[in-house]
Structure 1
Amino acid sequence: MTPRFDKLGVVVAAIVACATFFASFATFRANRIVPGEARSILDALPAAVGPLLLAIVVLAAIVALLKTPLVLRLAASVVALAALAILIGVAGTFLAPAGNTFARISPASGFWLLIFAFTLLLADVLTRLNLSPPARIGVLVLAALAIGSLLISGQWDSLSILKEYANRADSFWAEGSKHITLALGSLAAAVIVGLPLGILCHRVERLRAGVLNVLNIVQTIPSIALFGLLIAPLGWVAAHVPGAAALGIRGIGTAPAFVALFLYSLLPVVANTVVGLAGVPRAANDAARGMGMTDGQRLFGVEFPLAFPVILTGIRIVLVQNIGLATIAALIGGGGFGVFVFQGVGQTAMDLVLLGAVPTVALAFAAAIILDAVIEMTATRRRVETA
C-alpha cells in the first residue's frame, strides 16, 4: 500500500530533518559574550539520553509526515515538545563545567527549529479538532502551567537565559510591569477616545474620510520616527506647562512612548467601530424604530451590541500590536522588556536579548488566543440572540 503524505507534515518533517542533522542543539560558551561552540543532540546530552531524544524526534516527524489520526499527531507533537523542553535543561546541566559560574549554555538554532516544527504540528492538530473557545483557553492554561512547573522546578536553571534572569530578577519584573502598563494603558486611552470617535464617524459621513485618512497617515510613520517626533513637543510641554513635568510628561521616557502607542491604537479601534456599526442589519434598526426607541437607545441597545464582536477584533489587534511596539519604547527611556533586548544587542549577549524577547512574544501570543476566544464566544452569543 502506497503511503499517503500530509502536506503540512512534509514541511514539518523537512524542518525536523534540517534541525536534527544539520543544525546544533545547544551552544556552549566560556562566558556570556564570547563566540559559542555548537553541540549536536548526541553531543549535548548524556550518552543514554541523546539517542532517546533523537528517536522521539524522528518518530514524531514520521507521524507528522504520514496521514495519521489526529489523536496520534496530537500525542506525537506533545511528547516531542515535552521531551525538548525537559532535555534542553538536561543539556544545560550536562555541558556546564562543575563549579564554573561563567559558562553559558544556550538553546541553539536546531532546538528552536524543532520547537517551531512541533508547535506548528500541534497548532494544525488543534485547528483540525475545532476546539471551542473555552477549550482553547484551557490548552493555553495547561501550556502555561507546564512551563511554570519547569521554571519552578529549576529544570532550566543551568541555561544562560535563566542565569541572566537571576542576575536581573528585580529589574525584570519592574520592566515587565512598565511594559504591560504601556500596552494596556495606551489601549484603554484609545478605547475611551476611539469608540466615541468611531460612532461619530459612522453618523457623520463627511467626517469619516478625513479622520480615517489622518489615522492611516499616522500608521505609516515608523515607530522610532514617531517616538522621535514626539520628543520636542512633549519636552516643550514639560518646560512651559505648569504641572506637566510633575505628571511625568517630558521629552523622553514613558510619555512619548504612551502617546505614540495611543496614536497607533486609534485606527483599529475607530475603523472597526465604523465597520461594526455599518454592518448592523437594517431590519434590526427598523424594528427598534418601530418600537419607539430613541437614537441613543438604538445605539446602545441594538447597534453597539451587534457591532461589539467587530469592535473587539479591533481591540485585539491593538493589544497584540502594542505589546510588540512597547519593546521599542526602551530606546527613548520608556522601559519595558525592550530594555533587555537593546542591552543584549549592545553587549552582543543574545541570551539577554531573549530575556526581553521571549516574554514579549509569550504575552502577545496569549493575548491573541484569549481575545480570539472571547470574540468567538461573543459573536456566537449574538447570533443566538438574533436568531
Structure 2
Amino acid sequence: MSAPAPIPAGRPVPLARARRLSVAPMMEWTDRHCRMFHRQFSAHALLYTEMVTASGLVLGGADWLLAHDPREHPLALQLGGSEPEMLARAVEMALPFGFAEINLNVGCPSDRVQSGAFGACLMREPALVADCARAMIAAAGAAGPEITVKCRIGVDEQDPAQVLPDFVDTVAAAGVRVFAVHARKAWLKGLSPKENRSVPPLDYALVARLKASRPELTVLLNGGIASLAEAEAHCARFDGAMVGRAAYHDPAGILAGADALITGRTIAPVAPEDAVRGMLPHIEAELARGARLNQIARHMLGAFAGRPGARAWRRHLSEQATRPGAGPEVVEAALAHLAPVQAPVQAATQAAAE
C-alpha cells in the first residue's frame, strides 16, 4: 500500500486516517478518564470505549455508560451482544452521543462474554454476526456512525486460514466494510482471558493475505504491537494498526508520535509532563462531581515508562491518590520525583510519504 498524502495543518482528519493508529477497547482500562489522558498525547488517534453490553443499555437503562467528553473524539463505541434486535436498539440509544463508529465485539474470550453467547464465540456463527451487523446498520441509518467488527482469526480447533476469510466474506455481505482483526486464535477452552492475549501465536501473514485479496475492505491489524515503529511498519500492509496494552502501559511511547503517523506531517510530540498537566482541569472538574483521584490517576501511572524517577512517580501517585480529599497537588508532588530530561524529546515519526 502506498503512503497517503499528508493532511495540511488545520484540515480535519478523516476517520479513515484516524484509524491508522487506534487504541483498542480494553475492559476496565479504556474508560473516559483513560481516554482523556490518551487524548492529551494525540489529537487524532481513534479511541475506543470499553465494551458496553447491548442488554445493559437496553434492559438496564445504562445509557450513562455512553456519556463522554466531546474532547475525546474521534471516539468509537464498542458493543457486545448477539441479538440483532437488542443491538439495533442499543445503536439507536447511542446515536445522540455522536460516536464516530460503533463496533461489534466478536473477539473477547472472557468467561463473562462467553456466558452471554457473544464475543469470540461468535466466530462460530458468521451468519448470526451478519444478521446483527445488518440490524445495526439499519438502525444507524445512512447518516449515522459506521458499523464495524472486531474479531479473532478463529477459535479453538477452527482452521483460521479457512474460517477468517469465510467469516469476513459473510459479514461483509451484510454491509460491514471495516474489520479490526486480532491476529490470534482465541482458545475458549483451556486458556484464561489473560493467556488469550499472548499465548496463541500471532499470524500477521494470514491477516495480510486477507487484506491483499479484499482491497475494498478496511482491515486494521491488532495483537502484539508493542511500539509506534511497529505500528507504522504495519501500516504499509494494512489500513491501520490497533494497539492495546502497549498504549496503556506506555502512552507516551505509542501516542506521542501518533499524530505524525496519522497526518503525514512532522509534528512535535507532546511531552509526558505536559500531558499530565493537561489532565489537571479534568481532574478538578471530576473531583467537583464526586470522583476520587485514584479513579483517574490509575490510568496515568505509565506516563513516564522507562524514565528515571518513573518508579517513584508511580509509587507516590498510587499511595497518595487514595487519600480522602486527594487532589491535583498529589499529581504535582508526584511529578517532582522525576529526573529532568537531559536531551530533547525524540522527534516525531515522519510519514513514509516524506
Fold match by TM threshold 0.5? no
Structure index of larger Rg: 1
As a proportion of its length, which structure holds more helix? Answer: 1
Structure with greater contact order relative to length (CA < 8 Å, sep ≥ 6): 2
As a proportion of its length, which structure holds more strand? Answer: 2
State the TM-score, normalizing by the size of structure 1: 0.22
